[in-house]
Chain A
Amino acid sequence: DAKTTQPNSMESNEEEPVHLPCNHSTISGTDYIHWYRQLPSQGPEYVIHGLTSNVNNRMASLAIAEDRKSSTLILHRATLRDAAVYYCILRVIYGGSQGNLIFGKGTKLSVKP
């Protein structure tokens, strides 16, 4: 299975942008890049996903390298509510069936007031 590598932890100041990196050097051409986050004592929640182009939504932006071997989740203005574990996940497609999400350990983001 394709794997991802993320820093164990990162710190940010409130109201500043945060760039969370992810390496996925073994990604294949049809693998989608998903980001989920998990707030304390909650289930994970979807943040964003992309294939090749950069993506924006109301929560975050996803910047994907041209060779697709890395990506960066961008939170434009961190708030205290953004303190969570962020997971970068490759959704692997097997023969046209649904791809399961393979979670790593993620990056624990701390936000300082």
Chain B
Amino acid sequence: NAGVTQTPKFQVLKTGQSMTLQCAQDMNHEYMSWYRQDPGMGLRLIHYSVGAGITDQGEVPNGYNVSRSTTEDFPLRLLSAAPSQTSVYFCASSEPDRGRPYEQYFGPGTRLTVT
């Protein structure tokens, strides 16, 4: 299994540009999520999905859109990039909760710079 993969690894955008960060997992996990990590900080939840066709907002959703048309893929769209969105973005997935806790698997991250 490749686990959780993210593309691209690095990206530079100009203010106002849009782009999509890709995330895919091959573990048939129902739960997927996107986090951002700013320098010296912990991770903050942007959006999450508990299954195909279902998404919800996390702690910092403004400026980002998500969709979940398949179990495997969970892309994150930046609608109009702003310098405040300069960050490292991590995607994660886990097995669904069936009355027991779960372990999240994280991708390697995408380092985004907005100028």
Contacts and interface: CB of A to CB of B under 8 A. Distances in A.
Nearest to B108: A43
Given A42-B108, A46-B104, A105 B41 contact: yes
Contact of B101 (A32, A36, A44, A87): A32
Interface stretch (B14-22, B42-50, B71-79): B42-50
Contact of A98 (B35, B90, B97, B107): B97
B61 interface: no
Determine the main DSSP class of A at the interface with B.
loop
Interface string A36-75: 1000011111100101000000000000000000000000
B33 interface: yes
A100 interface: yes
Contacts of B105: 46
B42 A87 contact: yes
Interface residues of A, number: 23
A102 interface: yes
A51 B101 CA distance: 9
User: Contact size class for B?
Assistant: 20 to 34
Contact of B42 (A51, A98, A104): A104
Given A34-B101, A91-B101, A103-B42, A43 B92 contact: yes
Contacts of A102: 45, 59
B101 A103 contact: no
Interface string B11-45: 00000000000000000000101010000111111
Contacts of A7: none
Nearest to A97: B50
Interface string B75-115: 00000000000000010101011000111111111000000
Contacts of A44: 43, 90, 92, 104, 106
Given A44-B106, A100-B33, A105 B97 contact: no
Contacts of A100: 33, 45, 48, 58
A17 interface: no
Interface of A: 32, 34, 36, 41-46, 49, 51, 87, 91, 97-106
